[in-house]
Amino acid sequence: MAEDYTDYERDFFVAVDRNTMAEQAIFDALANIADDQYYTLFEVEIEHVCGPAHVQVFPERAGTLYRCMNCGMAGIIGG
């Protein structure tokens, strides 16, 4: 990273990287689901921003909803 970032900015970019890696792990875990598996609740084990965690994942056509069972963070991947 460039040296001209403040500690706050560096922390922000590190957090974004961790979240992106966690979302990529969720996407990878569901990359091969079949059409009849959409709208089905899955649980995957990934390295989340809070550490190793079980994450509930609900893939749908408009995106993938997820919720970490460890820290409670929720979000949408894709859309």
pLDDT per position as a tens digit, 19-73: 899 999 988 888 888 889 999 999 999 989 899 999 999 999 888 999 999 999 9
In a domain, 49, yes or no: yes
CA distance 14 to 41: 29
* Cβ atoms of 69 and 49 closer than 8 Å: no
* Total domains present in the chain: 1
In terms of Cα–Cα distance, which of 75, 72, 39, 77 is closest to 58? Answer: 39
Report pTM: 0.76
Tell me whether residue 2 is in a domain. Answer: no
Whether 22 is covered by a domain: the verdict is yes
Structural domain including 62 reads: 7-77
Residue 1 has pLDDT above 80, yes or no: no
- 1 lies in some domain: no
